[in-house]
A and B are shown apart, each in its own frame.
Chain A
Amino acid sequence: MTTTVLEIDGLSVATPDGRTLVHDCTLAVSAGESLGLVGESGSGKTLSTRAVAGLLPAGFTTGGTIRLAGHDLASLPGAELRELRATRMGMAFQTPRAHLNPLRTIGDFMTEALVALAGEAPEAAYRRAVDLLAEVGIRDPDRRMRQRPGELSGGLLQRVMIAATLAMDPPLLLADEITTALDVTTQEEVMAVIADLRRHRDLALLFITHDLALAGAVCDRVAVMQAGRTVETLAAATMREDAREPYTRRLLSASLPDEAAGIRQARRSDTVLEVAGLRKAYQVRAAGRGRGREELLAVDNVSFALAAGGALGIVGESGSGKSTTARMICGLETADGGTVTVKHEDWTAPARSAPARRARARVVQMVFQDPYQSLDPRQTVRSCLAEAVAVHRRIASRAEIAARVDALLDAVRLAPALAGSRPRALSGGQRQRVAIARALAADPEILVLDEAVSALDVTTQVEILTLLDSIRRETGVALLMISHDLTTVRRLCDHVAVMQAGRIVEQGPIADVLDAPRSDYTRTLLDSIPRPGWTPQRRLPARIVTSGGTR
């Protein structure tokens, strides 16, 4: 007989000013089971989880029932509630760096609950903490115990956080987007740790994520949330066949595309952009006790070519140098070596004067990752686009500019009614459309997309990628897509280059590289993508130290 460790029934959450953000969240997690709670931003999955954990902001009210280990949370007085949560559940968060006290050592963090709540002696608590760190695969735990969060990488911190949740041997772990901020290979490490823990401890898992593919790959069942409601709960293994709700189907097709359909044929034509032997070094303070400074090669001998009207993806994890490469092409950084050639002109040195920058702007434009940060929050959509238009056609009349702005809005499928809005009033997808429209204002021949869809929900990602693809077909603009995500690159690009630690380890037509990878690293990247039947592996020894690695 299985016991239910967490049961949420008809949960609603309302703000102090009376808006109901969660209407009906209903789910149950049995001992040893793993349930994925999936939904896009604003679906209410995080608020529901925080209601369970008692972390709603002051003044928020809840309805419905939450039963943790058989106890109705609403019926317990404060101190007992605290003890119940402390012993029956652990919770890990999305950003471990923000969720660990930066001023206290890992040792303080690991032992605090053991000493203060379980009443263990400091020495016993210390030994237990070291064991827990070892259990989540942290080598040299004694050294880690003395360090502070600032000295550890994100992947390590996430494992520290998971280890700490185990201190009181809880039967349930709430994991709120625990791998969202991590590289895919680090995500695989963390998921492998979680899988081991569940095997050895019979731990139940409530896995909150926006990534349906990941939830499907690591959970037994998946509950899908939309607009504050759990719309359906499916067995992970058969969710593709069982899904009834249109929203779930849309999520599924966005998250787990048919692989064959995405492959595009490479085209050969004129080269519009050529990068040869590009190099960028940063002076960094030497690590450890050493004195002086050392060079960090962010970009090391990078060469590739982009065909006119083509689409090249540059893929790599954080710190691989892919964004620095893009910024050098756009003149935001100066290269230390190598050349950037655009349309047979040498563009290696950034343009100094505004007219020179304008001339280049008519050839190369860029779309940034965070559409909110890349628009001036004080400017309306219209004035933002009008500014971009006016820069390039200095004598254009007001009416001509307005007409051009309307044409741009139409090109990115944005309703003209939104022209008067400021970025704050737009959704993430709408903001990114504005950013694309602004980039198109100059009629560029190359569009550099720096993680342009990675901050968006998956369904929105697909919309934006579709838009970009049709713009490419209509205008013949070449795309250079910087991304950490092989799946998105596969959707849009015909060629791909894989970067690791500043170097290109492999490049070629997309079908060749992704279906028959020649380098180990590409293979590792492909293997770490969650998919049905996926078993996350611990690959620590094989990993080459990048900035995301151990320090």
Chain B
Amino acid sequence: MSIGQLARGRTPAPARRAAAHDPLLIAAALVLVAVIGIALLGPLRSPYDPDQLYAGAVSAPPSLAHPFGTDDLGRDVLSRVLAGARPSIAGPVIVVAVSTMLGVAVAVASAWFGGAVDGIASRLVDVIFAIPGLVLAVLAVAMFGKGLLAPVVALSIAYMPIVVRLVRAGARAELGRPYIAALRIQGVGSLAICFRHLLPALLPTILAQATVGFGYAMLDIAAISFLGLGAQPPASDWGVMIAGGQPALLTGAPEQSMFPAALIVLTVLAVNIVGARTTTWAEAKDR
């Protein structure tokens, strides 16, 4: 046992027991469950129609009737926040899913075959990497018009290089280890090595990157909607709502922007915490 391992102390307790003693993790998990719950069921349970105008209550402060108040057109903010969960969560989820799947496939192919495949993939990744995600998203909007589809597709591509770089480095290190050579000498097939040994080994890396990516995707998509290039009013996307609440902010009704903003921050925070803990745990398990 090396000094480093000694310094890290005893082998970590089983995950379930460790999690029970980690209030932050529990809180983050609860937030996530709540947000996902809202995204799945929220619209069904919302107190009002999110697009219904209530002329009697324009920019009203929170009250019993409207717990989060109403916006400048007299729409119920709570209902809109609930309705906005689905588009606000779905975008980042798609971005992360697509970029991770593409990225892992390219990375594993690069590491596995090396040579020309690796060279071409690396060059491609370099080029994509040179175009910042937001710029690519704006370019996509210019091409295909406003809406969520173009930015989501653009970000899925823009987030791929970072996945490729991380996973490729991990895969190369893993493939260089003797146990892979031992499996090959046994005559174990390439696909079996890939799915039974290589991918599980890379899972902590992939997971960590996916959660970080989710945070950034959520921020980027919200920014695009906020700028008016993504989801279009009257949609109740959180980014759009924050933008819509801006004038009220200056006239003294901050809650129209604050509630959706708080939800974005909370969601990203919760995903980051859960991701970080899961990764530490997965790494400890492998060591």
Contact = CB atoms under 8 A, between A and B. Distances in A.
> Do chains A and B directly touch (beta carbons under 8 Å) in the complex?
yes
A376 B179 contact: yes
A392 interface: yes
B10 A17 contact: yes
B9 to A, nearest CB: 5
B6 A358 contact: no
B9 A15 contact: yes
Contacts of B185: 330-332, 357, 361, 364-366
B200 A378 contact: yes
25 contacts: A15-B9, A16-B9, A19-B10, A46-B3, A47-B3, A58-B7, A330-B181, A332-B185, A360-B187, A361-B186, A364-B185, A365-B185, A365-B186, A366-B185, A368-B181, A370-B178, A374-B179, A374-B182, A378-B201, A387-B183, A392-B186, A424-B11, A424-B287, A438-B186, A442-B187
Contacts of A19: 10
Interface in B191-212: 196-197, 200-201
B242 to A, nearest CB: 44
A19 B5 CA distance: 14
B198 to A, nearest CB: 10
B177 interface: yes
Interface string B1-16: 1010011011100000
Given A357-B187, A377-B287, A391-B186, A332 B1 contact: no
Interface residues of B, number: 27
A226 to B, nearest CB: 16
A419 to B, nearest CB: 18
A388 interface: yes
Contacts of A377: 286-287
Interface string A319-356: 00000000000111000000000000000000000110
Nearest to A57: B7
Interface of B: 1, 3, 6-7, 9-11, 177-179, 181-190, 196-197, 200-201, 285-287
Contacts, number: 91
Contact of B190 (A354, A387, A388, A392): A354
A368 B9 contact: no
A375 interface: yes
Contacts of B3: 46-47, 50, 57
**Residue from B9, B177, B179, B190 whose CB has the most chain A CB atoms within 10 Å:** B179
A354 B181 contact: no
A57 B197 CA distance: 34
Contact of B178 (A368, A388, A391): A368
B278 to A, nearest CB: 16
Interface string A44-86: 0011001000000111000000000000000000000000000
B187 A354 contact: yes
A388 B186 contact: yes
Interface string A102-126: 0000000000000000000000000
A314 to B, nearest CB: 18
A426 interface: no
Nearest to A435: B182
B9 A374 contact: no
Contacts of B190: 354
Contacts of A545: none
A388 B187 CA distance: 9
A466 interface: no
Given A358-B187, A377-B287, 19 more contacts: A19-B10, A42-B1, A57-B3, A357-B184, A359-B187, A361-B185, A361-B186, A366-B181, A366-B182, A368-B178, A374-B179, A374-B182, A375-B179, A376-B183, A378-B200, A378-B285, A378-B286, A391-B186, A442-B186
Given A17-B9, A46-B3, A354-B190, A376 B184 contact: no
Interface in A208-244: none
A439 B7 CA distance: 35
Nearest to A392: B187
Nearest to A19: B10
Nearest to B188: A391
Contacts of B177: 373-374
Contacts of B1: 41-42
Contacts of A354: 187-190
B187 A21 contact: no
A443 B1 CA distance: 33
B172 to A, nearest CB: 15
B182 A368 contact: yes
A19 to B, nearest CB: 8
A50 B2 CA distance: 12
